[in-house]
Amino acid sequence: MTALVFDGSFDGFLSVVHACYYEKLDPISIQPAEILTLMDEARYIETHQANAAQVYAAIKNKISPEVAYTVYVASLSPEEDRYTALLAYIRLGFKVGHMVGSHLQVEYVRRVRDLHRQAAGEAHLLFGFSRFVETASGVFYCQITPRNNVLPLVADHFTRRFMNQQWIIHDKAHNQAAVYDGKSYVIAQNPGDADVTLAAHEEETQDLWVAFWDALSIESRKNWKLQRQLLPIYFRKNMTEFTRQRPIKKPPGDIGRFIEG
């Protein structure tokens, strides 16, 4: 029973799985290196591309491609127990095959299902809630602050949607940015601040959007609780309709624009 640490990447985690199989380890915890405290007596597992690829191919072929993708998406969750749950899940998968996700009687199977839903769910929300601004250079810039590390999923979506538009999605929470040049994107770590000088008609467009959005609410039916449930407050600081000043000032919160809880 040991604690394992690794570099925190998905390949790193797959290398950990590899080590657990080949060295018959049964770790009590698996954490990215930065979480390690002095108290822990932990062993560091190096990331090996080849080992990672071998494990990923094994999951795909011996369990199923869907399970492999589920494991990847669940690993994007920020929950501390994600890697231990995933290791157990993969082990069960090698025993029972592609039906592993059906074993809902088993606690860690439910846990992986939840982690996957959390991450995939936040990504899906961001497909809708992300807002871009047009900059003077013609590049569209978007800032997000997700809880799960879902930038790759979000960038994949916008690669399909805005195929012939240049854009940057800046994940300020994880200090990284996806930069798309009209063909493919790369993810840059610690990208620094972007130049967001606005294009000429950007402000006008934002005003039109908030005017449209304001016109949609049916006053007599206000339901803050429902709105908060469907559009959690923590997304709102990045959304034009909640941050943009209105020409005529309405009392704060009057039209459902809370940003603070």
Partner 1 sequence: MDVMEKLTILADAAKYDVACTSSGNNRGPQEGMLGHAVSCGICHSFTADGRCVSLLKLLQSNMCIYDCQYCHNRRSNDVQRATFTPHEVAELTMRFYQRNYIEGLFLSSAVVKNADYTMEMIIETLRLVREEYRFGGYIHVKAIPGADKALIHRAGLLADRISVNIELPSQASLAKLAPEKTKETILTPMKYLKDGIIQSKNELTLYRHAPKFAPAGQSTQMIVGASPESDSKIVTLAEGLYNKYKLKRVFYSAYIPVNPNMPMASPPLTREHRLYQADWLLRVYGFSAGELFSDADENLSLDVDPKCHWALKNPQFFPVEIMTADFKTLLRVPGIGRISAEKIVAARRVGKLDFNDLKKMRVVLKRAKYFLTCSGKVFEKYHQSTIAARLKDGTDFQQLNLLEQPPGIGMETQTASMFVGDKATFSSHDTASSTGLILPVSHQKGAAI
Return residues touching partner 1 (CB under 8 A).
Answer: 96, 99, 101-105, 110, 117, 124, 127-134, 140, 142, 158, 160-165, 201, 205, 207-209, 211-213, 215-218, 220-224, 226-227, 229-231, 239-241, 255-256
Query: Can you tell me the distance from the alpha carbon of 31 to that of 75, in angstroms, rounded to the nearest whole number?
Result: 11
In whole angstroms, how close is the CB of 83 to partner 1 at the nearest point?
22
Spatial contact of 64 and 98, defined as CB atoms under 8 Å apart: yes
Residue 188, SS3? Answer: strand
* Rounded least distance, CB 175 to partner 1, Å: 22
How near is the Cβ of 242 to partner 1 at its closest, in Å? 9
CB of 235 to partner 1, least distance (A): 10
For partner 1, the closer CB: 62 or 110: 110
User: How many Cα atoms within 13 Å fall on the side-chain side of residue 81?
Assistant: 11
**Phi/psi at 75 (nearest 5 deg)?**
-70, -15
Give the single-character DSSP code of 53. H
Between CA 227 and CA 129 the distance in angstroms is 13
CB of 221 to partner 1, least distance (A): 4
Cα torsion angle, 114, 120, 122, 125, sign = negative
Q: How far is the CB of 58 from partner 1 (least distance, A)?
A: 21
Smallest gap from residue 166 Cβ to partner 1 (A) = 11
| Residue (29 or 240) nearer to partner 1, CB | 240
Beta bridge partners of 187: 178
**Nearer of residues 51 and 135 to partner 1, judged by Cβ:** 135
Calpha distance 156→56 (Å, rounded): 20
> CB-wise, 5 or 150, nearer to partner 1?
150
Measured from the CB atom, the residue of 18 and 116 that comes closer to partner 1 is: 116
CB-wise, 94 or 127, nearer to partner 1?
127
d(CA 154, CA 184): 13
The one-letter amino acid at 109: V
Closer to partner 1 by CB, 75 or 206: give it: 206
Place of tokens 């493919």: 184
Q: Which residues pair with 180 in a beta bridge?
A: 167, 185
* C-alpha–C-alpha distance, residues 238 and 114, integer Å: 26
